[in-house]
Amino acid sequence: MRYDLFITGFGGQGVLLAGNLLSYAAIIEGKNVSFLPAYGVEKRGGAAMCTVVIADGEVGSPVIGRPSTCVYLNQTSLDRYGAKVKDGGVAIINSSLVDDSGWSRDDLDVIRIPMNRIAMDLGDARMVNMVAAGAYAAKSGSVALESLEQALKSVLPERNHRFIPANMQAIRAGAGAVQG
Amino acid sequence: MSQRLFVKGNEAVAMAAIEAGCRYYFGYPITPQSDIPEYLSRELPKLNGEFIQAESEVGAINMLLGASATGVRAMTSSSSPGISLKQEGISYMAGSELPGVIVNISRSGPGLGGIDASQADYWQSVKGGGHGGYHIIVLAPASVQEMYDLTMLAFDLADIYRTPVMVLADSVVGQMKEALVPNPRPETTLPEKDWVVRGRKEGTEQKIVKSLFLGDGELEAHNWKLHGKYDVMREKECRQELFMTEDAQLIVTAFGSVARIAKTAILTAREAGMKVGLLRPITLFPFPTQAYRDVTGQCKKILDIELNNGQMVEDVRLSVARDAEVHFYGRPPGAGSLPVPEELFEQIKKYY
Amino acid sequence: MQQVFQRPVSLKDVPTHFCPGCQHGTIHRLVAEAMDEFGVRERTIGVASVGCSVFLYGYFDVDVVEAPHGRAPAVATGVKRARPDSFVFTYQGDGDLAAIGTAEIIHAANRGEDITVIFVNNTTYGMTGGQMAPTTMVGQKTSTSPYGRDHAKDGSPIRMAELLAQLGGVAFSARVAVNTPKNLMDARKQIKKAFRYQVEGKGFSFIEALSTCPTAWGVTPIQANERIGGEMIDYFPLGQFKDTAQWKPQPPPPAPVEQPGALSFPEFMNEI
């Protein structure tokens, strides 16, 4: 199987971290993956974005013109990159910050999740990206939630392992929001 | 299986340099390659190595020249405008037959251009970017794993042929993270460095590392010697990847990041029942001419794709001669001009 | 009979290509004497520059790397860092060091590279045929300043020994001349001192040696020598501009304070 994902939001929402975490989880599962952050002038103006491709075989292009799934964490992202999702693809929207009522894409599977609210309810608004990662993992089936937990353990220094339970709660909440 | 790490392309270059035994790095900051000096400035001191942030790219390449003359493995890295500045030193190193690894994570130009991915340094890299009619070996990685493996290879080739070797990539491959198996340095038999300057001990010959040859016939002989080495490289060091070329009716050819993007377009074409393959040169000098001759025995259409206005296509045409049609698709580098697989699929359909 | 004078062993027994009245040969000899004195010949790596001094390897019986024009201090940096046990010197002219190689000399000096630089100032580009150099005197006619160097247009001659003395990494900087026996004896002393700094690992040492170029100046050897003592020393005074082993590297910065609190994103990014 082959999955491609585009995540976008503003700097500080942990867009790159979410992409990294999903990638690392895929590596733990023995899959191939490419993680391509936005670079260059696109990085300016506070926008953050990355493209992740997960594949059982060769990754092929790390650059995707029309990704099958896009995750929009803020309004500007949707306004700017709303047309990017592949026809018939999936859009996962942070409905706490994004109003998509004026958006005319009826070919998509649109999933609206109030990520900021969920993250705040769990105690830290900064976990929006974890909610998003959980939602994508559950929706796509690309990586297991256990792999995300394993990824957190592998990449976080020991002294920060105390944050893992809260982050996993956020990941599960994101996953739950997709299924619910 | 060895451990798989999740690593950025630029960091893979730095890791490979250390594994290859390089302990001396000289550089100057420039986007998008600064991860390399940042990594090495952190790691080399722990290994009793030397990291110098030079006063300029000119300074850095000449520090590389000096270190290399003493026989150690050493490296510099930069991006296009900085590589232009290094060309003086590269020409001197080529003339003085000094090994050394130069990494170009190229960006768009001409001039200050931009910091976006670019393949517009192809000519500069493979045709001898400085004065005097020389070549250096140019390796073009297309993945993080190749950033690692080819950097390692670059050090060996540099020592075997006593030549500067360039690793030519761009920010797609440099900034991208992928799985990496950090292979150990392979066992290789390398020629003894009996030419290095280390201080003339009594009873030994004076060693001179130089590129000035003023005697009658001396420089001509020296150039014949250099060009003889280039012929050996052409014969022994060509490397390429062939992907689904056996039955192909159209073969896409591209290097580095663009070859990666093209591969997905080729898979899309295959799904649509089109017989399309990929020939990806891994060595840009020596250029894998024979591989083109081999595939054009049965395939009569080549589509060359580059992130520039057409540079490698000249070498492709020379290699293919009249055996096949050669088409070109490319865009000059700059913000927003990096092609996407969907776009390349349209080009494949156009020429199929 | 006692032999009181002989060729330094670091100097090869060959005639030089230098013009009659040129003082490169004398300066070469003083450098070779210093090499002999400290017994460093077998671990010396010379860095040749571009200009009349390019044939360094033809005269000094030591290993030599040839540097691109002006880049000798950068090449010497690479040599010395890779082989810290070697004795490394560059030998550069004024076009090489004070024009095209300004960045390299200033930064090698400022880093306090443990090398010795012999800078020969003859106020002209000798090898290329007597063009204006950064050290050309105001009013001096050269092939590219046929009306004489004009301060308003071309600036004034650079005093490198004084300039480099300002830099933290420089342990020793002096200007010498070999135009009279007295000056020559003093030059010998200063060059040895410069060598001593490197032998003792005390940092960057710099010698500026005033020299003649009768060919480019269009004068006789005697007139050329007289110009040193007259016009040149007036503008380029002899002496030590820095003589200290006191330079110390900056103290290391304080260790970074660990950020308390929640999951650190940048840290996470580094780890992953």
CA C112 to chain CA centroid, Å, is: 14
pLDDT at A32 (0 to 100): 97
Neighbours of chain B (3+ CB pairs under 8 A): A, C
Q: What does the pLDDT average to over C89-101? A: 97
Query: Across residues C92-99, what is the average pLDDT?
Result: 96
Between the alpha carbon of residue B285 and those of residues A178, B145, C174, the distances in Å are 52, 20, 49
In B162-217, alpha helices (H)? 171-175
- CB-CB under 8 Å, C64 with B63: no
Please tell me the predicted confidence (pLDDT) of residue C1.
78
CA-based nearest residue to B265, from A54, A64, A55: A64
pLDDT above 60 (res C272): no
Checking if the pLDDT of C221 tops 80, the result is yes
| Complex confidence, ipTM | 0.93
Using the beta-carbon criterion (under 8 Å), do A163 and C263 form an inter-chain contact?
yes
Cβ neighbours for C268, distance < 8 A, ≥ 6 positions apart: A17, A20, A155, A156, A160
Distance from C-alpha of A112 to C-alpha of C272, rounded to nearest angstrom: 29
Q: Does the beta-carbon distance from B197 to C103 stay under 8 Å?
A: no
Are the C-beta atoms of B146 and B256 separated by less than 8 Å?
no
Contact between A59 and B171 using a beta-carbon 8 Å cutoff: no
Could you say which residues of chain B have pLDDT below 50? 1
Q: Token pair of B340, please? A: 């996407």
CB-based contacts of A126, cutoff 8 Å, min separation 6? A14, A119, C262, C263
Question: How many whole angstroms separate alpha carbon C117 and alpha carbon C170?
Answer: 11
Cβ–Cβ below 8 Å for C82 and B67: yes
Bridge-based pairing of strands B74-78 and B250-253 is unpaired
DSSP character for B247?
Answer: T
Q: Which runs of consecutive H residues, i.e. helices, occur in chain A?
A: 15-28, 75-81, 115-121, 128-140, 145-155, 164-179
The tally of CA atoms less than 13 A away on the side-chain side of residue A116 is 11
Any CB–CB contact under 8 A between C260 and chain A? no
Phi-psi region of A151 (alpha: psi -120 to 50; beta: other; left: phi over 0): alpha
Whether C252 shows a pLDDT value over 70: the answer reads no
Measured CA distances, B182 to B254, C43, C70 (Å): 26, 38, 40
Q: CA of C256, closest CA in chain B: separation in Å?
A: 15
Q: Whole-angstrom Cα distance, residue A95 to residue A101?
A: 11
Interface of B with C (CB under 8 A): 6, 24, 26, 50, 52, 54-56, 58-60, 62-72, 74, 88-89, 92, 96, 197-202, 206-212
Q: Which residue has the tokens 């799985």?
A: B179
Which residues from chain C sit within 8 angstroms of residue B70, using beta carbons? 45, 78-79, 82-83, 86
Q: Quickly state the pLDDT bin for C271 (edges 50, 70, 90).
A: very low
Q: Which residues contact C1 (CB under 8 A, 6 or more apart)?
A: none
Q: Does the beta-carbon distance from B199 to C86 stay under 8 Å?
A: yes
What stretch of H or E contains B342? helix B341-351
- Domain limits of chain C? 24-271
Cis peptide before B32 (omega within 30 of 0): yes
Please tell me the predicted confidence (pLDDT) of residue B107.
Answer: 95
- The C-alpha atoms of residue C102 and residue B273 are separated, in whole angstroms, by 63
Chain A contacts of C264, Cβ < 8 Å? 160
Determine contact, residues A7/A71, Cβ cutoff 8 Å. yes
Pairing state between β B177-180 and A32-37: antiparallel
Taking CB atoms and an 8 Å limit, are B88 and C68 in contact across chains?
Answer: yes
Using the predicted structure, report yes or no on whether residue C20 has a pLDDT greater than 70: yes
* pLDDT tier for residue C257 given thresholds of 50, 70 and 90: low
Query: What domains lie within chain A, and their CATH numbers?
Result: 2-179 (3.40.920.10)
Confidence bin at A46 (pLDDT 50/70/90): confident
At A43, the pLDDT band (50, 70, 90 cuts) reads low
Q: With cut-offs at 50, 70 and 90, classify the pLDDT of residue C4.
A: confident
Buried b (16+ CB within 10 A) or exposed e, B321-335: eeebebbbbbbbbbe
Say which amino acid occupies B64.
L
* Largest Cα span, chain B: 73
CB contacts under 8 A, B 79-118 vs A, are 114-116
Residue-level pLDDT at C247: 44
Question: Are the CB atoms for A42 and A11 separated by under 8 Å?
Answer: no
Q: Report the alpha-carbon distance of residue B1 to residue A27 in Å, rounded.
A: 13
Chain C hits for A157, Cβ within 8 Å: 267, 271
Residue type, B258: V
**Alpha-carbon gap, residue C226 to C32, rounded angstroms:** 25
pLDDT digits (tens, 9 = 90+) for B72-81: 999 999 999 9
Of A23, A60, A63, the CB nearest to B6: A23
* Residue-wise pLDDT tens digits, A5-24: 999 999 889 999 999 999 99
What integer best gives the mean pLDDT of chain A?
A: 92
Contacts of B60 in chain C (CB under 8 A): 74
Mutate to test the interface with A, among C258, C267, C268, C271 (most CBs of A within 10 A): C268
B-chain residues near C41 (CB < 8 A): 199-200
Contact B263, A32 (CB under 8 A): no
* Residue A47 pLDDT class (50, 70, 90 cuts): confident
Encode pLDDT of C104-132 as tens digits.
999 999 999 999 999 999 999 999 999 99
* Structure confidence by residue, pLDDT tens digits, B148-157: 999 999 999 9
Rounded to 10°, the helix A145-155/A128-140 angle is 140
Residue A41 has pLDDT above 80, yes or no: no
- Per-residue pLDDT, C267: 40
Query: Which residues 6+ apart lie within 8 Å of C154 measured at CB?
Result: C132, C136, C145
User: Can you spell out the DSSP letters for chain C?
Assistant: --------TTB-SS---PPTT-SHHHHHHHHHHHHHHHT-GGGEEEEE-SSGGGGHHHHBSSEEEEPPTT-HHHHHHHHHHH-TTSEEEEEEEHHIIIIITHHHHHHHHHTT-S-EEEEEE-SEETTTTSEE-TTPPBT--BTTBTT-B-HHHH-----HHHHHHTSTTEEEEEEEE-SSHHHHHHHHHHHHHHHHHHHTT--EEEEEEE---HHHHTS-HHHHHHHIIIIIHHHS--EEEEE-S---PPPPPPPPPPP-SS--HHHHHHH-
Q: Per-residue pLDDT tens for C63-74?
A: 999 999 999 999
Q: How far apart are the C-alpha atoms of C176 and C23, rounded to whole Å?
A: 12
Supply the pLDDT for residue C213.
Answer: 96
pLDDT of residue C246: 47
Class of domain C24-271: alpha beta
Q: Hey, what domains does chain B have and what are their CATH numbers?
A: 5-180 (3.40.50.970), 240-351 (3.40.50.920)
- Residue A124's closest CA among A163, A75, A157? A163
Q: Which of B264, B278, B280 should be substituted to probe chain A, the one whose Cβ sees the most A Cβ atoms within 10 Å?
A: B264
Contact A12, A31 (CB under 8 A): no
Residue bearing tokens 């082959």 = A2
pLDDT at A39: 57
Cβ neighbours of residue B241 closer than 8 Å, sequence gap 6 or more: B142, B259, B278, B279, B280, B282
Tell me the average pLDDT across C177-185.
97
C-alpha to C-alpha distance for B104 and B102, rounded to whole angstroms: 7
Is C11 in the B-facing interface, judged by CB distances under 8 Å?
Answer: no
pLDDT in tens, B184-208: 999 999 999 999 999 999 999 999 9
C38–B contact, CB cutoff 8 A: no
CB A74 within 8 A of CB A46: no
A124-144 pLDDT, tens per residue?
Answer: 999 999 999 999 999 999 999
Q: Which residue would you say has higher pLDDT here, B338 or A44?
A: B338
